[in-house]
């Protein structure tokens, strides 16, 4: 291959992610030219509605996948937390890069921790998972919808529309905005979304040449953890907009997985964990334990 085209969203974070993958590819394969194909997705346009009400985070990848299917691009780069648990037929994740920091971050001009926020303080987030976990511990706070790219969300915070916002640590670090982080939330306090902190590279399943080209970037320990996390989501319905957290860690031999499902108001939370060698099996087992604790009933309240 002499030229490779990467489909990407137009946000600064998405462009950083695509450029990062492109630079690694160019460095590993001498003579390979990498170009970006920036695109606007439906998810980028619908900024005034909750994602679970307008089609889910799959809205962020449909146009990119169409570019792959049409031959306009060879690969697409995604944050793994933004991918539905099931990809459309004919597409595959050919590589999962080594995971960055998977935690959530509290960003605020005035408050250095969640416990410092006064009653009725407004927390901005687009994630039901984040909102539910905050409200479980601090029911006197108000969680309010906050959509848009990272810069847009920070600008709304800086204008005083929110007292604090919760964003992914990895995204802030990648954009050079680590200094905005007031606190990194431990997984015990805010269990991450499946795949949070990791980048994935998607291509057509029939492109064996691309799978081979990308193989050097696939980080097996990170990939195993993320496969386990995504298996929980898949077993519980597959929507990446659910108030569902899942986080796996590995010592290189065994996986340990924690997961939760919560009601939108944080009043009901089911938690389960497990350990095992097979990511998909472990994810399904932990999802089964969540079901035994009432996960399906909790999720039905969101319909």
* Dihedral angle sign, alpha carbons of residues 190, 170, 234, 275: negative
> Which of these is catalytic: 44, 74, 82, 101?
82
Alpha-carbon separation of residue 243 from 155, 158, 189, 237 (angstroms): 25, 27, 14, 12
Those residues with Cβ within 8 angstroms of residue 107's Cβ, 6 or more apart along the chain or in another chain? 154, 157, 164, 165, 166, 167, 172, 180, 181, 182
- Describe the strand order of the beta sheet including 122-125 as a list of residue ranges: 142-145, 122-125, 164-168, 104-107, 181-185
Residue 210 gets which letter from DSSP? H
Q: Which residues, including other chains, have CB under 8 Å from residue 89's CB and lie 6 or more apart?
A: none
- Contact indicator for 13, 174 with CB cutoff of 8 Å: yes
The answer to whether residues 295 and 236 touch, using CB atoms and an 8 Å cutoff, is yes
Q: Verify whether residue 104 is a known catalytic residue.
A: no
Q: Which residue has the tokens 């980028």?
A: 44
What is the number of alpha carbons within 13 Å of residue 106 lying toward its C-beta?
A: 25
In contact, 35 and 25? CB cutoff 8 Å: no
- From the list 96, 77, 66, 87, the residue with the least C-alpha distance to 223 is 96
Catalytic machinery residues? 82
């Amino acid at each position: 291959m002499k030229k490779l085209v990467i489909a990407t969203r137009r946000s600064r974070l998405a462009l950083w992610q695509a450029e990062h993958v492109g630079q690694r590819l160019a460095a590993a394969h001498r003579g390979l030219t990498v170009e970006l194909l920036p695109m606007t997705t439906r998810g980028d346009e619908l900024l005034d509605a909750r994602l679970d009400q307008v089609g889910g985070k799959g809205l962020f990848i449909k146009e990119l996948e169409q570019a792959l299917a049409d031959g306009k691009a060879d690969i697409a780069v995604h944050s793994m937390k933004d991918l539905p648990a099931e990809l459309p037929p004919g597409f595959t994740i050919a590589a999962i890069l080594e995971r960055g920091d998977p935690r959530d971050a509290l960003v605020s001009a005035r408050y250095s921790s969640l416990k410092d926020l006064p009653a009725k303080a407004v927390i901005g987030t687009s994630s039901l998972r984040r909102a539910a976990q905050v409200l479980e511990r601090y029911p006197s706070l108000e969680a309010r919808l906050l959509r848009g790219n990272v810069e847009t969300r920070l600008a709304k915070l800086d204008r005083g529309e929110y007292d604090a916002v919760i964003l992914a640590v990895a995204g802030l670090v990648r954009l050079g905005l680590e200094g905005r982080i007031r606190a990194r939330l431990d997984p015990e306090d805010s269990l991450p979304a499946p795949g949070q902190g990791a980048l994935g590279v998607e291509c057509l399943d029939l492109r064996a040449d691309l799978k081979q080209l990308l193989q050097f970037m696939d980080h097996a320990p990170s990939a195993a953890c993320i496969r386990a996390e995504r298996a929980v989501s898949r077993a519980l319905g597959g929507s990446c907009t659910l108030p569902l957290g899942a986080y796996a860690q590995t010592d290189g031999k065994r996986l340990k997985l924690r997961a939760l499902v919560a009601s939108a108001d944080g009043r009901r939370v089911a938690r389960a964990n497990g350990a095992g060698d097979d990511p998909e099996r472990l994810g399904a087992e932990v999802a089964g334990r969540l079901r035994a604790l009432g996960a399906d009933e909790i999720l039905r309240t969101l319909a």
